[in-house]
Amino acid sequence: MAKILIVDDERSILETLEMFLSEKGHKAFKADTGAKGFALFCAHKPEIVILDIRLPDCNGLDLLNRIQTEECLTKVIMITAFQDMETTIQAMKRGASDYIHKPLDADAVEKAITRALRTLEAERETPISDEMSKRPDPEVIIGRSDQMRKIFKMIGLLCQNRATVLIQGETGTGKELIARMIHRNSPYDREPFVVLDCSAVVESLLGSELFGHERGAFTGAIDTQKGKLELAGNGTLFIDEIGELPLRLQGNFLGFLQRHEYMRVGGQHQLKSRCRIIAATNRDLYTMVSQGKFRQDLFFRFRVVTIQVPPLRDRLSDIQDLVNHILRKINLELGTEVTKLQDGVLDCLMKQRWAGNVRELENVLVEAVVRARGGVMLLDEIERILSPNQSIPETGLSTYSLSHMEKEHIQHTLATLHWNRTEVARRLEISLPTLRSKIRKYGIIPPRSLAVK
């Protein structure tokens, strides 16, 4: 049972919601002004407040602000008859748990209440991990699995020299991060770390991006431009998706790897570069060689030092550490405070195949944080994100409207007071003509023994 405060100036909404919540086993309090509502809030500290935007003595958003400043775990569900964008945005921005439009639907009301109570329960019962208090390092590789420990050892060996490295792994496994860690721990860490993504550059311009070009080398080349090799200086050039490098450029690039010399496109003079090359690919270069799509001699050059990055599905034991790290990073970047996971969230995450690997995991967590209504990440929210085309059932939800709730309330009151319409009108705090109008509207038929009265 939860304590729920209803603040609305419409008497019918107060009465029907009070009846509806009481039937669900909750303790309901009601107020028709902001001042009365805040007084009841301070007196009873309800778990949930159902709050109208337009009140006779104040703006519901201002009352929301006052409630938020109190040190208690209360979720506020805003309701309004005005379906404008600005109030919706402001309500959610100020910390409302949910926002429902009038005329109210019982299904939507109970869904919002159920969600709010689940969030409160998770916030109370879920401890904050000590890891969540640490400031995240954006350039750190997370993992304790044997596969990742082998990679850490290889990074330690490679940072002591300038050997050319090939990093192989599926999309989203963190190949660039490994390259950055090799550079960061080398004696040349103060030199540039330059990235060239072969899949993101038009094929006809890749030569210019890699080697640079002279003025007038081709249409549009109005100035001399330095290539990535030159910009890297004595640092590191990370070439992502090396498998996308055209065959016509692979020979030129192989020549650079052998002699550390190259020419700009349209140039006449040899230039030198001592930068280190770290390349990455998600493709099978061995198969590409057999298909004639990648030079064998260039492949052999890269194969000397290779790091194979495992997919996330092969190191699920790292999920918890990854989630803690990614959540800290998301909270820092977005200014959020989602620091808890409801029981079952980690188990759910560990059952996924993660075709997009760590990048996909991060995207899921970002969406879950944005959708969170408090400091806890709920299991049902994670399930919705992971199964966007499946409906996640809510428990104990009704499917009828608020009008149906009002009809039941009137019927119940009529039966309790033996159809004494005057007393029923007084109890419902409506006029006798209004009661008669509602009886006709809802087609409420008195018992046969009273039909003649």
Shared domain for 259 and 202, answered yes or no, is: yes
| Two structure tokens written together for 238 | 């990370």
Query: 385-433, pLDDT tens digit by residue?
Result: 988 654 444 433 334 455 666 777 788 888 888 888 888 888 877 888 7
What pLDDT, on the 0 to 100 scale, is given for residue 246?
A: 92
Residue type present at position 372: A
Q: Higher confidence at residue 390 or residue 142?
A: 142
Q: Which band of pLDDT confidence, cut at 50, 70 and 90, is reported for residue 245?
A: very high
pLDDT-derived band of residue 453, with 50, 70 and 90 as boundaries? very low
Least confident interval from 163-167, 172-176, 323-327, 428-432: 428-432
Task: Judge whether 109 and 100 are in contact, CB under 8 Å.
Answer: yes
C-alpha 244, offset from chain centre: 32
Per the model's pLDDT, the better-predicted residue between 418 and 236 turns out to be 236
pLDDT tops 90 at residue 438: no
Whether 184 is in a domain gets the answer: yes
Element holding 237 (H helix, E strand): strand 236-240
Assess whether 441 and 371 both reside in one domain.
Answer: no
Q: Are residues 250 and 332 in the same domain?
A: no
117 and 166 housed in the same domain = no
Residues in CB range of 98: below 8 A, 6 or more apart: 75, 77, 78, 112, 115, 116, 373
Tell whether 49 and 95 lie within a shared domain. Answer: yes
Task: Tell me, yes or no, whether 156 and 293 share the same domain.
Answer: yes
At 368, which CATH number?
Answer: 1.10.8.60
Average pLDDT estimate for 376-393: 75
Tell which wins on pLDDT, 85 or 424: 424
Query: What is the enclosing helix (H) or strand (E) of 277?
Result: strand 276-281
CA distance 220 to 137: 42
Distances (CA, A) of 248 to 58, 206, 244, 292, 293: 72, 11, 11, 12, 11
Domain of 409 in residue numbering reads as 402-450
Please report the pLDDT score of residue 434 as a whole number. Answer: 81
| Token digits of residue 290 | 């057999």
Percent of the chain at pLDDT > 70 equals: 92
Q: Do 272 and 339 have their domain in common?
A: no
The secondary element (H helix, E strand) that includes residue 87 is helix 85-93
Q: Are residues 305 and 347 in the same domain?
A: no
Mean pLDDT over the full length of the chain: 87
Would you state the pLDDT for residue 388?
Answer: 65
pLDDT, position 391: 43
* 136 belongs to a structural domain: no
Domain count, the chain: 4
pLDDT attached to residue 131: 60
**Residue 214 pLDDT:** 85
Residue with tokens 């550059």: 201
User: Does residue 340 lie within any of the structural domains?
Assistant: yes
- Predicted confidence (pLDDT) per residue in 298-355, tens digit: 999 988 899 999 999 999 999 999 999 999 999 988 888 898 888 899 999 999 999 9
**What integer is the mean pLDDT of 213-217?**
79
Please check whether residue 393 lies inside any domain of the structure.
Answer: no
Task: Report the range of poorest mean pLDDT among 214-218, 234-238, 250-254, 297-301.
Answer: 214-218
E strands within 34-186? 48-52, 75-80, 98-101, 165-168
Query: How far is C-alpha 137 from the chain's CA centre?
Result: 20
Identify the bridge partners of residue 377 per DSSP, sorted by sequence position: 341
Lowest mean pLDDT among 201-205, 231-235, 442-446: 442-446
**Residues 322 and 304 placed together within one structural domain of the fold:** no
Q: What is the pTM of this model?
A: 0.71
Token pair of 397, please?
Answer: 């939800």
